[in-house]
Amino acid sequence: MKNDLKWLKKKKYYLLSDEADPHRTCKNKNYITKVMVLAAVARPRFDSDGNETFSGKIGMFPLVHEVPAIRSSVNKAAGTLVTKPITSITKEVYRWFLINKVLSTIKEKWPRESVGETIYIQQDNAPCHIRVDDAEFCAAASEGGFDIRLTCQPPNSPDLNALDLGFFSAIQSLQQREVTRTVNELIQAVQNAFDTFSSIDSNKIFLSLQLGMIEIMKAKGNNDYKAPHMQKDALFRQDKLPTTLDCDWHLVTETMEYLNNVQ
């Protein structure tokens, strides 16, 4: 499964030359409200009849905290708790959300028949991310009979990030259909978009991820390849969309030999 951070902000407007500027209450674009969201998704699962058995949508967790308002206004009195984005994402902040939000939700939503299997959480190499052998995370991950481990995305490999392949752009497109004026409204719009996003479309993104892996092996790790189009929509309409892609065993063997030689 994939776990990543993403800034989500209020929408931008592109105007024609003769259109008047919309009324804005922020000083400039540097003051546009934005919230960092920690997203976690896994490959959705379907039964033999194509019915969804597991959506793969673990959760979207906004990195926010509540602070008392300093001054009174027409909307709130001084001291009222106000939701504010956490602007400095440190390892401590990331670890807390990973353990208390992501891990707990995985254990709640993961299919019961697969609890004993190893679950890998892939993170990228952002400075705020913790080590894969972080003691506090490992202790929490092993509770309840689960075997959950961290792994890092290969550097300089954006096509190996399922969220960046299409999930974030799809979620932001859905979120921007709603007009939001506050942090809480923005968070709710993001959650609505996450809930609305189709598991069928999510499955297509994971197929693109598999296709990228195959092409990367063919290119010996280079990123100068072009992933061929599968025509997933047409295959889905014909009820021929595969759940996994076959990979030539000779290609796997050749890739392993290449990696052993370069090391």
Q: Confidence class of residue 131 from pLDDT cuts 50, 70 and 90?
A: very high
Whether pLDDT at 231 is above 60: yes
Whether pLDDT at 32 is above 70: no
Number of structural domains, the chain? 2
> Rounded to 5 degrees, what angle do the CA atoms 263, 131, 221 make?
35
Largest CA distance in the chain: 69
108 and 187 both lie in a single domain: yes
Q: Confidence class of residue 137 from pLDDT cuts 50, 70 and 90?
A: very high
Phi/psi region, residue 34 (left: phi>0; alpha: psi -120 to 50; beta: rest), is beta
29 and 39 both lie in a single domain: yes
> Rounded to 5 degrees, what angle do the CA atoms 158, 162, 163 make?
90
Q: Tell me the average pLDDT across 18-33.
A: 64
Whether pLDDT at 41 is above 70: yes
79-119 pLDDT, tens per residue? 888 888 888 889 999 999 999 999 999 999 999 888 889 99
214 and 147 both lie in a single domain: no
Token pair of 123 as six digits: 């993170």
Whether pLDDT at 140 is above 90: yes
193 and 257 both lie in a single domain: no
Identity of the amino acid at 180: T
Instruction: Identify the domain boundary among 197, 227, 243.
Output: 197
189 and 206 both lie in a single domain: no
Q: What CATH number should be reported for the domain holding residue 162? A: 3.30.420
pLDDT of residue 53: 92
Instruction: Supply the pTM of this predicted model.
Output: 0.80
pLDDT of residue 9: 52
Percent of the chain predicted with pLDDT > 70: 89
CB neighbours of 177 closer than 8 A, spacing ≥ 6? Answer: none
Whether pLDDT at 152 is above 60: yes
Q: Tell me the average pLDDT across 50-74.
A: 88
Identity of the amino acid at 13: Y
Q: Whole domain around residue 210: which residue ranges? A: 199-263
Instruction: Identify the domain boundary among 145, 168, 197.
Output: 197
CA distance 40 to 57: 7
Which of 179, 175, 206 has the alpha carbon at shortest distance from 192? 175
154 and 111 both lie in a single domain: yes
Q: Which residue has the higher pLDDT, 218 or 74?
A: 218
156 and 210 both lie in a single domain: no
Per-residue CA distances from 6 to 35, 168, 210, 249 (Å): 8, 8, 23, 36
246 and 121 both lie in a single domain: no
Instruction: Identify the domain boundary among 175, 197, 219.
Output: 197
pLDDT of residue 27: 56
70 and 106 both lie in a single domain: yes
